[in-house]
Structure 1
Amino acid sequence: MIGFLSGTLIEKLAPWLLVDVNGVGYEVQSPMTTFFQLPAAGESVTLYTHFSVSENAQQLFGFINKKDRELFRLLIKINGVGPKMAVGIMSMETTDFVRCVMQDNVSALVKVPGVGKKTAERLIIEMRDKLKGWGEAAEPAQAGIINIEHNNPLDPNTLIADAEAALVALGYKPTDAAKVVASSYTSDVQTSEELIRLALRSMLPA
């Protein structure tokens, strides 16, 4: 079992990362709660990991802190929620997800790709007790904060293409991804991370 990876962040294209650990490149999937807090490519990074094995694939998932990994592991224990869906659910801020569960907000949860009404209702029922006091127990982290100073500004076309690719990888339809990214982009946006977050915020609860 791989508990964590510590090395150099080579590439990041949400939700995929490539981490060089002593000359070995690990492909890792990370939820947006982690992606928004990553350093720039070429810098050191440590990720807490979860190794998932199924009949069709072996996948490594990485998280910026143990609390995010704990939430991921709680989610995949829910009937009907696999790793891909869990990553999609964690495309919203952790505080937003907790609020949706505590407020029985089914309509917000079904906006996540792959989450139907029954799954949303099951998430609310099974996660409510597990998430009590979650905010108080959370590690002091920069959840949802974008490290703008560690990212070089890209040209608008690249920003938009990266953001659209990230949303499609999370399960959104290409046409929906293109529409929401276009409506979220402004000249003030300097990084793909910022644009992805704005696009997700426009679809998921604030």
Structure 2
Amino acid sequence: HQSNNMTETFKTEPETKEIAVVKTQATKALTAAQELEIKSPEQMTLATILLSKMKTVAKMIKERKETITRPLMEALNSSRDLFKPIEANLADAERVVKGKMLDYQQVIDAENEKKRLALAKKVETGYMKPETAVAKMEKIEDAPTTVQGSVGAITFRNVKKVRLAELGTLGGADLEYLAKTGLIEWSSSARMEALKGMKVPGAEVYEEKVVASRST
């Protein structure tokens, strides 16, 4: 009932007499301001009085507006507080699932790397012919980069990220360079420049595999 009451209040308030009064006063203030001419001390005094009246009307508008917006904001904050832990649980659940997917990918990648190294070792020792090793390597199945479910699909992709060193670990020349280029604050611009290929002392660009999911 509270929500419905607030909705009705929001709909009907603009039609109340009090709102109509301040609306009229604001319109009159605008007209007076547009017609105002200041060419004498007396007119300057009148302008001062006009501004004072505007301040009074502005205060009335603010107070009336807040009687409408305050309960709405309180309801909004209450709704956010209600859903925040629910959304956090869902975000954690998604993070856990994606983490396990990435763990599985890493296991497959590691196993395949061992197989390839073992085949290469056999070639080096003369235990296996190169063409035989190549044929076996071609049969090694890499971990899938996309997975399609009965509903939804996921894609594994590598994204470039930037790892920044602590400024205290950098030498004087590096710090001087960063100061000259405006990147000394380790701001987002420093990360962007590094991602673009610019050499930024103390910045290491690396790739990280992530899971992108979509619903179908």
TM-score exceeds 0.5: no
TM-score normalised by the shorter chain: which range applies?
under 0.3
- TM-score (structure 1 length as normaliser): 0.22
Structure with the higher helix share, 1 or 2: 2
Compare CA radii of gyration and give the structure with the larger one.
Answer: 2
